[in-house]
Amino acid sequence: MNAPSTTRRRWLELTALAAGTAACRRSAPAPEADTGPNLLGKPVTAYGERSPFETAARALPDTRTPETAASRTPLQDSCGILTPSSLHYERHHSGVPKIDPAQHRLLLHGLVDRPLVFNVEEIRRLPSVSRIYFLECSGNSSGEWGEKTGRNAAQSHGLASCSEWTGVPLSLLLAECGVQKQVKWLIAEGADPCKMQRSLPLDKAMDDVLVAWGQNGEPLRPEQGYPLRLVVPGWEGNISVKWLRRIKAVEEPYMVRDETSHYTDLLPDGTARIFTFVMEAKSLITFPSGGQKLTSPGFYEITGLAWSGRGRIQRVEVSTDDGQTWHDATLQEPRLSMAFTRFNFPWNWDGKETVLQSRATDETGYVQPAKEPLVAVRGLNSQYHFNGIKPWKVMGDGSVTNA
Ligand SMILES: Nc1nc2c(c(=O)[nH]1)N[C@H]1C(S)=C(S)[C@@H](COP(=O)(O)O)O[C@H]1N2
Ligand SMILES: [Mo]
């Protein structure tokens, strides 16, 4: 038992050398701390806030109008697998509506035996489940298709977050309505000004889709769809309709705006992929990543996140030599289906310029592709569904940039 603890001590000494490299790091100059040994602290508060010494923040776009708004999770500052609700990415097409839950209704209608209207209280009274799932916009890491634009992990991959969602299985509501035999699709609609709609296959709806009202132990944030949203596990974020107000049972998809003008992939042969719902396996090194700096050569723990819309992450390999050799990273538990999985890999940086990469394999055996084979198949017409390997370049002075 001696050897491991000695190794562990040595490890701690070495990592202590590389000061400030823990996964949860603070980035800005510290405000002044309270001083004096007998100074009393602040009294209790009704709703908590983080330490004034912590400054991780969502990356915002240069221009902010309701129609173009997307903010990105600072994955470079993340630890563990959950995204705090206050840092969950936001994507909305007509701003965040302010909805009074007492006024809000969810209508289920169409080809059903009993059309039903629920208020929010009724939804919350139904048997609920809580599940940890990632949510990712299919436009995430779109900058990686061509000239790389994301200078850091938030900008390149921050349209992905992971929360514990609480809600009612949609299958339960559908059973209450009595969905008719010919129904193959549902049309889900939001209560925001753009009336976001998406066509959802009935099979998926009956499988694992939630009508969620809770997020990370409290009601949904307005940005995430308060008071009710769909959570469609593993599928492109756009179909997880927020501010959910209507579900219509139908025979065919409706070919709505967001599944025709958006979220389709135009291929090199002129045909387009449509209803490409599943977000394929993907991974990202969050430390060291763009914008960060290694203070000196020596030991570092590389860490990152991997996820797959097809199930669990089976394996993550890391390369620290520009893809010449690959080594298995350690996967942290819990390793949940369609949730972020954190990986770690010990690394001794020799102070030379190099490129770091990670490659995820999910439980179906699917391996995250490099960018080149992905571009060979998909071409460069589409900005959606990029899941290629993400390289970060470590410069001789320890600074980390896009590669
Ligand atoms: N009603 C409504 N639902 C919506 C949207 C919207 O604009 N309106 N945006 C969609 C898109 S494109 C994504 S990626 C996810 C983002 O969810 P989030 O803001 O909770 O991260 O919500 C989807 N659901
Ligand atoms: Mo999206």
Q: Quick check: 229 and 246 in contact, CB under 8 A? A: no
pLDDT of residue 28: 55
pLDDT category at 249 given cuts 50, 70, 90 is very high
- Spatial neighbors of 43 by CB under 8 A, at least 6 apart, are none
pLDDT of 237 > 50? The answer is yes
The per-residue pLDDT for 64 is 75
DSSP 288: S
Q: Is a pLDDT exceeding 80 seen at residue 14?
A: no
The conformation of residue 375, written as its DSSP 8-state character, comes to: H
Q: Among 41-45, 75-79, 162-166, 169-173, whose mean pLDDT is lowest?
A: 41-45
Residue with tokens 């430390």: 287
Domain ranges of the chain: 67-266, 282-402
Q: Which residue type sits at 117?
A: V
Minimal-distance CA residue to ligand 1 atom 10: 238
SS (H, E, C) 320-340: CCCCCCCEECEECCCCCCCCC
Neighbours of 356 (CB within 10 A): 26
Cβ atoms within 10 Å of 121's Cβ, excluding its own: 10
Whole-angstrom Cα distance, residue 263 to residue 275? 8
Q: For residue 337, how far is its CA from the centre of ligand 1 (angstroms)?
A: 21
Model pLDDT, residue 23: 45
Residue 30 pLDDT level (bands cut at 50, 70, 90):
low
- What is the rounded average pLDDT of the residues 351-366? 98
What token pair was written down for 205?
Answer: 């709806």
89 lines ligand 1 (CB under 6 A): yes
pLDDT tier for residue 38 given thresholds of 50, 70 and 90: confident
Q: Based on C-alpha coordinates, what's the Rg of the chain? A: 23
**Ligand nearest the Cα atom of residue 142:** 2
- With tokens 């916009």, the residue in question is 137
Phi–psi pair at 160, nearest 5 degrees: -145, 140
Cα of 92 vs centre of ligand 2, distance in Å, is 8
Q: Cβ of 74: how many Cβ atoms within 10 Å?
A: 22
Residue 1 has pLDDT above 50, yes or no: no
Residue with tokens 């921050």: 158
- pLDDT surpassing 50 at residue 129: yes
pLDDT exceeds cutoff 60 at 385: yes
- The pLDDT tens digits for 55-83 are 999 999 887 777 778 999 999 999 999 99
Q: What does the alpha-carbon distance between residue 318 and residue 381 come to, in Å, rounded to a whole number?
A: 29
Q: Name the residue of 91, 93, 211 whose CB sits within 8 Å of the most ligand 1 atoms, as the mutation to test its pocket.
A: 91
Nearest CA to ligand 1 atom 23: 238
Query: In sequence order, what E strands does 139-254 have?
Result: 160-169, 185-190, 197-201, 210-215, 218-219, 229-231, 244-250
178-181, long-range: CB < 8 A, 24+ apart: 178/112, 178/113, 178/114, 179/111, 179/112, 179/113, 179/249, 180/111, 180/112, 180/113, 180/249
Task: Pick the closest to residue 70 from 144, 141, 166 (CA basis).
Answer: 141
| Spatial contact of 55 and 26, defined as CB atoms under 8 Å apart | yes
Residue 126 has pLDDT above 70, yes or no: yes
Q: How confident is the model at residue 163 (pLDDT cuts 50, 70, 90)?
A: very high
Domain 67-266 has CATH 3.40.50.150: no
Neighbours of 218 (CB within 10 A): 10
8 A C-beta contact, residue 234 and residue 279: yes
The CATH number fitting domain 282-402, selected from 3.30.830.10, 2.60.40.650, 3.40.50.1820, 3.40.50.10680: 2.60.40.650
Locate the ligand 1 atom nearest the alpha carbon of residue 161 and give its number: 21
Residue identifier of the C-alpha nearest atom 6 of ligand 1:
92
Higher pLDDT, 332 or 18: 332
Residue 15 has pLDDT above 70, yes or no: no
Tokens of 199: 């066509």
Taking the complete model, does pTM exceed 0.85, yes or no? yes
Distance CA 319, CA 330 (A): 13
CA torsion, ordered 212, 218, 222, 228, to nearest 10 deg = 20
* CA separation for the pair 391, 375 (Å, rounded): 16
- C-alpha distances in angstroms, 294 versus 1, 56, 119, 304, 349? 32, 19, 53, 16, 9
> Average pLDDT of 16-29?
47
Whether omega for the bond prior to residue 37 falls within 30 degrees of 0, making it cis, is no
CA of 297 to the centre of ligand 2 (A): 39
Beta bridge pairs of residue 189: 197, 246
Helix (H) or strand (E) holding 301: strand 298-307
Span 107-119, average pLDDT:
98
Mean per-residue pLDDT over the chain, rounded: 92
Is a pLDDT exceeding 50 seen at residue 271? yes
Structure tokens at 149: 């634009």
Percent of the chain at pLDDT exceeding 90: 83
Residue bearing the CA closest to ligand 1, atom 19: 90
**For 12-21, 123-132, 238-247, 256-265, which range has the lowest pLDDT when averaged over its residues?**
12-21
Q: Which ligand has its closest atom nearest to the C-alpha of 89?
A: 1
Which atom of ligand 1 is closest in space to residue 225's alpha carbon?
20
Whether the pLDDT of residue 6 is over 60: the answer is no
Measured from the CA of 236, which atom of ligand 1 is nearest? 14
With 0-12 CB in 10 A as exposed, 13-18 as middle and 19+ as buried, what is 303? buried
Q: Is 153 helix (H, G, I), strand (E, B) or coil?
A: helix
Which residue, by CA, sits nearest to atom 18 of ligand 1? 90
373 has a pLDDT exceeding 60: yes
User: Which has more pLDDT, 150 or 183?
Assistant: 183
- Across residues 119-125, what is the average pLDDT? 98
